[in-house]
Homo-oligomer: A and B are copies of this chain.
């Protein structure tokens, strides 16, 4: 491991800029060697955070330059398919921010291209798998110390969302994380998705009808409900309560400095994902870098990304339909043997 992994970061919006800072200040064994961003101002700002990196306006340029050992894709989802196919063609390891792509069909094309190439190269950016409490919960489920898992109650609460956030993004941008992490935790496959509407939050933007309660059934019988809430104001909260045959576990509870003041005992809640999942993002990228240097994929695969795309399509359909929408997923190809 004498040489750092040279990473080309594609996209220098908020997410890309975060990753550039992370690789530069917190990740060992890697440097940002290139920033691909058509917008000159963004590109310049990003390069200022990545000493020694070179700027590019498109991915082809950097792939031709030989400057990148690996690629991190942080562009909006609609650009992922093309970028992924190009990186696969170049044979480089890639960390692709979620989603893999925006539709099941394009996701499947990426999966097929990866399988055709004969080597797993894609890791999808579902960072919850790198959160220590999710890891602990998964271990508890796997070792059955409290019996079999029976139900999951998940909560995803945002203080607010930007103006670009529309109804389908409740599924595609937010519940998307649960579609990845729930099967990873519970060891099953999603079989149906249903959406229930409680009283609307009058503080939500007019275009949104939320919160929603999403109900998933897994093929192993585990029943999952997800409260998806994006205008709740008070903070950012992602938590899960796991119901076992002989006990209950919770993750995502408040922690840190406790303050007794003004008539109450209080603990600050997170304001957004940057603190809630800071360590998970760091560990995700470190695991990807370490894996890339060893030639393996150390996180959610392209096939995981495809399955999530199928669930999202069902979830979006369920937004406008009463009752459960069935999810049909193919058997996992041998190429993607579960680790």
- Expressed in whole angstroms, the Cα–Cα distance for A84 and B215 within the complex equals 42
Interface residues of A in 236-264 (CB under 8 A from B): 237, 243-251, 253-264
Tell yes or no: A117 within 8 A of B by CB.
no
- For A37, what are the chain B residues with a Cβ–Cβ distance below 8 Å? none
Contact B233 A260 (CB under 8 A): no
Known: A51-B1, A227-B153. A262 touches B247 (CB 8 A): yes
Number of interface residues of A (CB under 8 A): 79
Contact B248 A223 (CB under 8 A): no
Tell yes or no: A199 within 8 A of B by CB.
yes
Known: A199-B222, A233-B247, A263-B234. A2 touches B52 (CB 8 A): yes
Contact B263 A268 (CB under 8 A): yes
Tell yes or no: A220 within 8 A of B by CB.
yes
Tell yes or no: A85 within 8 A of B by CB.
no
Among residues of B, the one whose C-beta sits closest to the C-beta of A233 is B246
CB distance from A278 to the nearest CB of B (A): 10
Among residues of B, the one whose C-beta sits closest to the C-beta of A198 is B223
Contact B247 A257 (CB under 8 A): no
Name the one of B247, B271, B286 contacting A260, with C-beta atoms under 8 angstroms: B247
- Expressed in whole angstroms, the Cα–Cα distance for A232 and B160 within the complex equals 36
Contact A271 B263 (CB under 8 A): yes
Among residues of B, the one whose C-beta sits closest to the C-beta of A260 is B248
- Expressed in whole angstroms, the Cα–Cα distance for A314 and B159 within the complex equals 37
Known: A211-B150, A243-B227. A250 touches B258 (CB 8 A): yes
- For A202, what are the chain B residues with a Cβ–Cβ distance below 8 Å? 147-148, 245
- Expressed in whole angstroms, the Cα–Cα distance for A23 and B244 within the complex equals 39
- For A227, what are the chain B residues with a Cβ–Cβ distance below 8 Å? 151, 153, 243
- Expressed in whole angstroms, the Cα–Cα distance for A232 and B245 within the complex equals 6
- For A132, what are the chain B residues with a Cβ–Cβ distance below 8 Å? 256
B-contact bits for A197-232, CB 8 A (1 contact / 0 none): 111111100000001010100001111010101011
Contact A247 B222 (CB under 8 A): no
- Expressed in whole angstroms, the Cα–Cα distance for A279 and B279 within the complex equals 10
Contact B264 A267 (CB under 8 A): yes
Binds B, one of A24-32, A95-103, A169-177: A24-32
- Expressed in whole angstroms, the Cα–Cα distance for A2 and B33 within the complex equals 11
Known: A137-B257, A234-B263, A264-B266. 8 other contacts (CB 8 A): A153-B153, A201-B245, A229-B243, A231-B245, A247-B262, A248-B260, A265-B267, A323-B323
**What residues of chain A have their CB less than 8 Å away from a CB belonging to chain B?**
1-2, 23-28, 51-52, 132-133, 136-137, 140, 145-151, 153, 157, 196-203, 211, 213, 215, 220-223, 225, 227, 229, 231-235, 237, 243-251, 253-269, 271, 279, 286, 290, 323
